[in-house]
Amino acid sequence: MRGIRVRQLAGIVRQRSVAWLIFSLALLFSSVFFSTAIAATVNGVRMWAGPDNTRLVFDISGPIDHKIFMLSSPNRIVVDMQNTRLRGQPTGLNFSDGVVTDLRSGARNGRDLRMVLDLKGKVRPKSFLLKPTKQYGHRLVIDLQDARAKQSRKVKRQASYEPKGSARDVIVAIDAGHGGDDPGATGRRGTREKDVVLAIARELERLIKKERGMRPVMIRRGDYFVGLKDRRKKARELKADLFISIHADAFRNGRARGTSVYVLSQGSATSKAAKWLAENENNSDLIGGVSLDDKDDLLGSVLLDLSRNASIAASLDVGGKVLQHLKVIGRVHKDRVEQAGFAVLKAPDIPSILVETGYISNRYEENNLRSKKHQRKLASAMLSGVRGYFRNNAPPGTLLAQVDRKHTIRRGETLSGIASKYRISQRTLRSTNQLALNTVLKIGQTLRIPVM
């Protein structure tokens, strides 16, 4: 079309005056300019379903104007994108989870693109544009909050927080880093941080469930995005006594190896690497489109600072214990707990640590991080550290805070005999005293008998 026009124009130029030439050229340039400025394209659609939120990300060639509205019977969301075309048909979308059951598209007014999302029920839609980051170009993000899911979760939460008898469990919030449109770091074999850290988090959840006096809560259960501030908020809502964020980042240097434990710093970072990593982690919000403005930092009250200082001291304590146990299973990157300004760790009242379970950028560690056996080892090292911390720091009113009795072993006694005497299981007795399965009891040795 444009080619024909140019050829026609060439014919005209030969015959007509210079004035015509100028006029025609101006017309040609304006039409060329106009057509490149308006035609944005949608190059792909990605979707993730969380427990109460479904997120769609449209990868677009540039910023666009759009409108979004809901229609009922049947429930659907309409997204109109001005002067936009769809390149190819979206593929690989999984409609089995979340609120969206189908995605259709059509042209409107010859220039606009209309996308229709069929829904299972009513939602609260939100949409925003995101600027390019390292991994992605321009994006239009649509968040669909499922109203029903939120209500049912609230009810469930109330029901599950009845204390058991007089003493409660300590609650450990497990936070698998990244998720959804934020994949985190990627290894050479294509391993994504968001996937391996979720696997390790699930392993830790499984172990803590079996632990007397402890209960795990998961900040992220699947492959979806949760903002850094929302992670802290969720931990507080779930009344967590401890917050563990699990990561497996990349480093510029592919040879960097080892696990590390980080806690929040009030001032400057303890090393360049810690600072670099914190900045990298805090980018998660930029990728997922949450503002980094930290409103509770603005409060700046003395009380907040005091409780933050106290929880940093507690965080260093639990971080040190976790690091000790990580040392047993492999190389550690730094011999001490490092500190930097991690946004996810900024809960003023909950001791919080961030565990880098290894460098996904290192070929050897990438393979390790993919292995179920290694994931289990990491989780069990974290649990040992947590157990050690709560042994001396159990919050008042928890089962772990109750003073245990002591039993001194006499000749002829067996573990099963002692367990049945105090009406506890052998497993509890073993885990309280950190006894391996094949431990031989010594006469005169004292055992802690947990209060049940």
Binding piece for Zn ion, criterion CB under 5 A, among 243-251, 327-335, 344-352, 360-368: 243-251
Q: Nearest 5°: CA angle at 237, between 199 and 356?
A: 35
Least distance CB 343 / Zn ion (angstroms) = 12
Binding piece for Zn ion, criterion CB under 5 A, among 156-164, 245-253, 298-306, 337-345: 245-253
Task: Give CA separation, 448 vs 30, 170, 258, 437, 452, in Å.
Answer: 85, 19, 34, 17, 12
Residue nearest to Zn ion (CB): 247
Backbone angles phi, psi at 289, to 5 degrees: 85, 35
303-342: which residues touch Zn ion (CB under 5 A)? none
Least distance CB 186 / Zn ion (angstroms) = 11
Q: Which is nearer to Zn ion, 47 or 246 (by Cβ)? A: 246
Q: Which is nearer to Zn ion, 177 or 388 (by Cβ)? A: 177
User: Cα 226 vs. chain centroid, distance in angstroms?
Assistant: 6
Q: Nearest 5°: CA angle at 57, between 63 and 130?
A: 40
Backbone angles phi, psi at 361, to 5 degrees: -80, -10
d(CA 427, CA 12): 94
Least distance CB 231 / Zn ion (angstroms) = 12
* Helix H or strand E encompassing 229: helix 228-237
Q: Which is nearer to Zn ion, 192 or 325 (by Cβ)? A: 192
Q: Nearest 5°: CA angle at 444, between 442 and 447?
A: 80
Q: Does 247 bind Zn ion (CB under 5 A)?
A: yes
Q: Which is nearer to Zn ion, 58 or 262 (by Cβ)? A: 262
Least distance CB 284 / Zn ion (angstroms) = 7
How many residues belong to the site for Zn ion (CB under 5 A)? 4
d(CA 227, CA 346): 13
Which two tokens mark 335? 């011999």
Binding piece for Zn ion, criterion CB under 5 A, among 98-106, 151-159, 248-256, 359-367: 248-256
d(CA 320, CA 322): 5
d(CA 441, CA 435): 9
Q: Which is nearer to Zn ion, 368 or 428 (by Cβ)? A: 368
d(CA 200, CA 193): 11
Least distance CB 165 / Zn ion (angstroms) = 39
Which residue's entry shows tokens 């007509």? 16
Q: Which of 146, 182, 205, 249 binds Zn ion (CB under 5 A)?
A: 249
Least distance CB 285 / Zn ion (angstroms) = 12
**In contact, 341 and 312? CB cutoff 8 Å:** no
Tally Cβ neighbours within 10 Å of residue 190: 7
Contacts with Zn ion, 340-369, as mask; x by CB under 5 A: ------------------------------
Q: Which is nearer to Zn ion, 140 or 278 (by Cβ)? A: 278
Least distance CB 360 / Zn ion (angstroms) = 9
Q: Which is nearer to Zn ion, 215 or 247 (by Cβ)? A: 247
The length of the chain is 452
Q: Which is nearer to Zn ion, 184 or 385 (by Cβ)? A: 184
158-197: which residues touch Zn ion (CB under 5 A)? 177, 184
Q: Which is nearer to Zn ion, 247 or 374 (by Cβ)? A: 247
Task: Give CA separation, 300 vs 228, 236, 304, 413, in Å.
Answer: 19, 19, 7, 58
Least distance CB 149 / Zn ion (angstroms) = 27
Least distance CB 185 / Zn ion (angstroms) = 6
Least distance CB 429 / Zn ion (angstroms) = 38
**In contact, 174 and 217? CB cutoff 8 Å:** yes
d(CA 158, CA 172): 18
Binding piece for Zn ion, criterion CB under 5 A, among 59-67, 103-111, 239-247, 371-379: 239-247
Q: Which is nearer to Zn ion, 249 or 338 (by Cβ)? A: 249
Binding residues for Zn ion, per CB under 5 A? 177, 184, 247, 249
